[in-house]
Amino acid sequence: MDATPYSTLYLGYTVDDPDDDVVLANARTKNAAWYVTNRFRFGTPFQIGVDYLRWTTRYRGLDNRFDVYAIYNF
């Protein structure tokens, strides 16, 4: 959906749900995300995008998960 002549807004949902019987122990049994994206056009082909994603992941046989990450903006 074109929000303005220079930007486009996207809304969506995606899911990956494999058969749990064929998934190994401690592997992902379901991944899902909903998202909002806005892409700004400054002339062809240059675009800048802003995304927000809300991920949900389930694991087989693994109850806790810890993530460590670093972000470098340039």
Full domain range(s) for residue 31: 2-59
In a domain, 21, yes or no: yes
Residue 63 has pLDDT above 60, yes or no: no
Q: Express each pLDDT in 1-17 by its tens digit.
A: 777 778 889 999 988 88
In a domain, 43, yes or no: yes
Residue 65 has pLDDT above 90, yes or no: no
In a domain, 65, yes or no: no
Asked whether 39 and 48 are in contact (CB, 8 A), the reply is: yes
In a domain, 72, yes or no: no
Euclidean distance between CA atoms 70 and 64, whole angstroms: 20
Q: What is the pTM of this model?
A: 0.55
Residue 48 has pLDDT above 80, yes or no: yes
In a domain, 12, yes or no: yes
In a domain, 68, yes or no: no
Count the domains in the chain: 1
